[in-house]
Chains A and B, each alone.
Chain A
Amino acid sequence: MCVWFPKWPIQRLRNERPELRRAALVLFAGQSQRLLVTACSPKAERKGVRDGQPLAEAKALLRNANFLPADLVADREALRQLALESQHFSPLVGLEEGMPPESLLCDVTGCTHLWNGEAQFLQAVRAFWTDRGYQPQLALAGSVGVAWALAHAAKNTVVAAGDEAAALSGLPVALLRLPATVLERLESLGLRTIRDVMALPRETLASRFDLILPQRLNQALGFEPELFVPERLHEPLTIDHEWDVPLEDRLTLGHICRNMLQALLASSDYPGAGFQELEGELRTESGVVKLEVRLVRPSRDEGHLAQLVELQLERSTWSGGVVAMRWTVVRLGYLSNREHNWFAPEAESDASREVVALVDRLSSRLGEDGVLRAETLPDAQPEHAVQLNPWTQAGLARREEYALAPEQARCRPFRLLGVPQPIVVVTLDPEGTPICMTWQKAERRVIRYWGPERIATGWWRARDAQRDYYRTEWDDGTHAWIFRDLRGGRWFLHGFFE
Chain B
Amino acid sequence: MPGWSKDSPRKERETVSELRKRLGLFSFQQDGLGTDSAESYDAFPGLGVRAGGIVEWLAAAPGAGAGVLALQVRSQPWFVDGVIALVDPSGECYAPALSGWGVRPGQVLFVRPTTRQETCWAIEECLRCSGVSATWAWIEERFSPRIHRRWQLAAEEGGGVGILFRPESARREPVWADLRVLVAPRPGGAGESRRARIDVLYRRGGMGGIAQVWEIDHAEGVVRLVPEVAHSAPAEREARA
Q: Which of A351, A416, A478 interacts with B63 by CB under 8 Å?
A: A478
Q: A173 vs B105: C-alpha distance in the bound complex, in angstroms?
A: 48
Q: Which of B105, B113, B132 interacts with A355 by CB under 8 Å?
A: B132
Query: How many of chain A's residues have a CB under 8 angstroms from any CB in B?
Result: 61
Q: Which of A401, A407, A474, A480 interacts with B106 by CB under 8 Å?
A: A401
Q: Which of A375, A376, A473 interacts with B99 by CB under 8 Å?
A: A376
With a cutoff of 8 Å between Cβ atoms, the chain B residues found around residue A407 in the complex are 100, 219, 221
Given contacts A351-B130, A376-B95, A388-B110, contact A410 B218 (CB under 8 A): yes
A154 within 8 A of B: no
Q: A409 vs B99: C-alpha distance in the bound complex, in angstroms?
A: 6
Cβ of B133 to closest chain A Cβ, rounded Å: 8
Q: Which of A375, A450, A471 interacts with B105 by CB under 8 Å?
A: A375
A218 within 8 A of B: no
In the complex, which residues 34-59 of chain B have their Cβ closer than 8 Å to any Cβ of chain A? Answer: 59
In the complex, which residues 197-233 of chain A have their Cβ closer than 8 Å to any Cβ of chain B? Answer: none
With a cutoff of 8 Å between Cβ atoms, the chain B residues found around residue A477 in the complex are 61, 64, 184-188, 194-196
Known: A410-B219, A498-B68. 20 other contacts (CB 8 A): A344-B83, A351-B82, A351-B131, A354-B129, A358-B85, A362-B125, A365-B122, A370-B114, A374-B95, A374-B108, A404-B100, A410-B218, A410-B221, A413-B97, A414-B98, A416-B92, A416-B93, A477-B194, A478-B63, A479-B194
Cβ of B111 to closest chain A Cβ, rounded Å: 6
Q: A413 vs B65: C-alpha distance in the bound complex, in angstroms?
A: 10
Q: Check B111 against A370 for contact (C-beta < 8 Å).
A: yes
B96 within 8 A of A: yes
Q: A350 vs B83: C-alpha distance in the bound complex, in angstroms?
A: 13
Cβ of A435 to closest chain B Cβ, rounded Å: 15
With a cutoff of 8 Å between Cβ atoms, the chain B residues found around residue A408 in the complex are 100
Given contacts A370-B112, A403-B105, contact A473 B187 (CB under 8 A): yes
Query: Tally of A-B residue pairs with Cβ under 8 A?
Result: 200
Q: A354 vs B83: C-alpha distance in the bound complex, in angstroms?
A: 11
With a cutoff of 8 Å between Cβ atoms, the chain A residues found around residue B192 in the complex are 450
Q: A89 vs B100: C-alpha distance in the bound complex, in angstroms?
A: 58
In the complex, which residue of chain B has the Cβ closest to the Cβ of A385? Answer: B96
Q: Interface digits, B52-81 against A, CB 8 Å rule (1 contact, 0 not)? A: 000000010111111110000000000001
A195 within 8 A of B: no
In the complex, which residues 397-420 of chain A have their Cβ closer than 8 Å to any Cβ of chain B? Answer: 401, 403-404, 406-418
B209 within 8 A of A: no
Q: A181 vs B67: C-alpha distance in the bound complex, in angstroms?
A: 54
Q: Check B62 against A496 for contact (C-beta < 8 Å).
A: yes
In the complex, which residue of chain A has the Cβ closest to the Cβ of B115? Answer: A366
With a cutoff of 8 Å between Cβ atoms, the chain B residues found around residue A357 in the complex are 129
Q: Which of A371, A375, A410, A473 interacts with B111 by CB under 8 Å?
A: A371
Q: Check A478 against B104 for contact (C-beta < 8 Å).
A: no
Cβ of B97 to closest chain A Cβ, rounded Å: 4
In the complex, which residue of chain B has the Cβ closest to the Cβ of A348? Answer: B131
Cβ of B57 to closest chain A Cβ, rounded Å: 10
Q: Check B96 against A412 for contact (C-beta < 8 Å).
A: yes
Q: A245 vs B83: C-alpha distance in the bound complex, in angstroms?
A: 47
In the complex, which residues 354-369 of chain A have their Cβ closer than 8 Å to any Cβ of chain B? Answer: 354-355, 357-359, 361-362, 365-366, 369
B91 within 8 A of A: yes
